[in-house]
């Protein structure tokens, strides 16, 4: 990889950072939609919460940022990504009327990850989560059948989906049989279900309606980025 490529962040990351900065007043601007492919070849998509850009975590020596998302390792998307690691995220910023589409491969970093740099990234992201978000890892398996008799309370926003869309993750409505959430909430050690997803961004499509522009970036085999301007 040429030194000039490794020395600077790709220009799309500056545009994305500006969009994030300019949309902080809208909480929903932290949500993006991550598309994956099911084992049967059909597409699927769900809302996830942005958990930061981490330069160089997947390519030591390169500044290319990976997009971080957190999830429960028992969710369907983790199984889908194990079979088909390609994903694309659509991220719409309502205040500035911009859309970014970010495509690439996802690396799932779970409790069994033996790569020190990735395991460290997982611990760092865990350390930055609120106690409420940490608690949802002790919830029943997402997507499993729910028996209303299991329900121990009436509080809302407890499960992994609550994290995905900004819930408080209070855990109070979970079955009494679940592990007590308190230790998980305060532990510096990530819960065994906690999984960090790192999207290795290989292609970016940025539409800016205010400027009436659309730019498409692609990472070449050697790591160099090319950009072209296309019609929106």
Contact 178, 138 (CB under 8 A): yes
Is residue 228 close enough to count as binding a copy of itself by CB under 8 A?
Answer: yes
Q: Which of residues 11-30 bind a copy of itself (CB under 8 A)?
A: 27-28
Closest among 195, 54, 11 to 113, alpha carbons compared? 195
Our CB check for a copy of itself shows the closer of 105 and 224 to be 105
Distance in angstroms (rounded) separating the CA atoms of residues 37 and 13: 26
Tokens, residue 124: 């760092």
Judged by CB under 8 A, the number of residues near a copy of itself is 61
**Contact window for a copy of itself (CB under 8 A) among 7-15, 45-53, 121-129, 217-225:** 45-53
What is the phi-psi region of residue 171: left when phi exceeds 0, alpha when psi lies from -120 to 50, beta otherwise?
left
Distance in angstroms (rounded) separating the CA atoms of residues 200 and 108: 11
Tokens, residue 61: 């020596």
Q: Which of residues 185-224 bind a copy of itself (CB under 8 A)?
A: 207, 209-212, 214, 216
Our CB check for a copy of itself shows the closer of 61 and 210 to be 210
Among 161, 185, 197, 201, the residue binding a copy of itself under the rule CB under 8 A is 161
Our CB check for a copy of itself shows the closer of 8 and 211 to be 211
Among 3, 7, 112, 145, the residue binding a copy of itself under the rule CB under 8 A is 145
What is the phi-psi region of residue 56: left when phi exceeds 0, alpha when psi lies from -120 to 50, beta otherwise?
left
Residues 6+ apart with CB under 8 A from 212: 232
Is residue 167 close enough to count as binding a copy of itself by CB under 8 A?
Answer: yes
Is residue 44 close enough to count as binding a copy of itself by CB under 8 A?
Answer: yes
Contact 145, 121 (CB under 8 A): no
**Contact window for a copy of itself (CB under 8 A) among 32-40, 108-116, 126-134, 180-188:** 32-40
Is residue 171 close enough to count as binding a copy of itself by CB under 8 A?
Answer: no
Residues 6+ apart with CB under 8 A from 230: 214, 215, 216
Contact 137, 78 (CB under 8 A): no
Site map (CB under 8 A) of a copy of itself, residues 78-107, x = contact: ------x-xxxxx-x-x--x-x-x-x----
By CB under 8 A, name the binding residues for a copy of itself: 27-28, 31, 33-37, 41-47, 84, 86-90, 92, 94, 97, 99, 101, 103, 139-146, 148, 155-162, 164-167, 173, 207, 209-212, 214, 216, 228-232
């Amino acid at each position: 990889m040429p030194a000039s490529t490794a020395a600077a962040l790709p220009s799309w990351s500056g545009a994305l950072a500006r969009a994030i900065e300019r949309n902080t007043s809208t909480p929903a601007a932290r949500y993006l939609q991550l598309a994956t492919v099911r084992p049967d070849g059909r597409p699927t998509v769900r809302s996830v919460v942005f958990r930061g850009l981490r330069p160089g975590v997947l390519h030591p020596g390169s500044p290319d940022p990976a997009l971080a998302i957190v999830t429960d390792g028992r969710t369907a998307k983790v199984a889908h990504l194990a079979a088909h690691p390609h994903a694309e995220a659509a991220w719409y910023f309502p205040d500035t009327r911009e859309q970014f589409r970010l495509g690439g491969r996802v690396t799932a970093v779970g409790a069994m990850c033996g790569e020190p740099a990735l395991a460290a990234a997982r611990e760092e992201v865990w350390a930055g989560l609120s106690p409420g978000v940490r608690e949802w890892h002790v919830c029943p398996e997402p997507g499993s059948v729910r028996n209303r008799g299991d329900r121990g309370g009436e509080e809302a926003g407890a499960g992994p989906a609550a994290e995905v869309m900004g819930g408080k993750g209070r855990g109070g409505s979970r079955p009494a049989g679940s592990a007590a959430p308190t230790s998980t909430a305060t532990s510096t050690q990530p819960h065994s279900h906690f999984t960090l997803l790192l999207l290795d961004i290989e292609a970016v499509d940025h539409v800016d309606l205010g400027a009436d522009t659309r730019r498409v970036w692609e990472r070449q085999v050697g790591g160099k980025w090319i950009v072209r301007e296309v019609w929106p």
